[in-house]
Amino acid sequence: MNKKIDIINAAMEVLANQGYYDATISGIAERAGVADATIYEHFKNKEDLLFSIPEEKMKEVLSLAELHLQGIKGALNKIRKFVWFYLWIFENNTNWASVVLLNLKTNRKFVNTSGYKMYQDLVRIVIDIIEEGKSEGSIRKDINPYVFRSLLLGAIEHVSIRRLILNKPENLVPLADDITELLIQAVKV
């Protein structure tokens, strides 16, 4: 297996469990089964390693999002699927969710990384869905797609953070219908 990927996976686990400030390069190296120096062959420092995590995972998430939305007709159905998908990703990738929601999104430097650009590509899907809904007549023309995106992401990320910190709710996917209904009621014609 690729050492860089092994290090990223180990870092994701260590950071998810210990948080950025308590995690150490030595702890990550130990978890990856490599020497500390091996980490520095691939990453400048702990922050560089942190910012490398979404670059790898976002490739997979973007690909999965595109796959899940294939064949879905109508903007309202796409909203349903995107909400379900985003909840499913966070529920089934707890370490990644922890790193993204508790470590990266609160780091101001994250917005200057390629991982953040990939995150923007993912959430741009919501903007495209709203514009599609306006064109097809299922979503009101006065809806600001950026505000809607914030509502959608905010709802999903809020319940996901509660799960990470409080382990409540135990599962995220069952919330998809409730979240989706509220969102759709807010925008449909």
Residue pLDDT, tens place only, 56-67:
789 899 999 999
Q: Are 99 and 16 in contact (CB under 8 A)?
A: yes
Q: What is the pLDDT of residues 89-141, one digit of tens each?
A: 999 999 999 999 999 999 999 999 999 999 999 999 999 999 999 999 999 99
Q: Note the pTM of the prediction, 2 decimals.
A: 0.93
Cβ–Cβ under 8 Å, residues 176 and 85: no
- Homologous superfamily in CATH for domain 53-187: Tetracycline Repressor, domain 2 (1.10.357.10)
Task: Please give the average per-residue pLDDT across 163-170, as a whole number.
Answer: 96
Query: What is the average pLDDT across 146-175?
Result: 97
Mean pLDDT of 177-185: 98
The pLDDT-based confidence of 147 (bands split at 50, 70, 90) is very high
pLDDT of residue 57: 87
- Rounded Cα distance, 81 and 158, in Å: 18
Asked if pLDDT for residue 11 goes beyond 90, the answer is yes
Residues in Cβ contact with 142 at an 8 Å cutoff, skipping those fewer than 6 apart: none
- Where does the pLDDT of residue 145 fall: very low under 50, low under 70, confident under 90, or very high at 90 and above? very high
* pLDDT for res 47: 95
Q: What is the pLDDT of residue 1?
A: 56
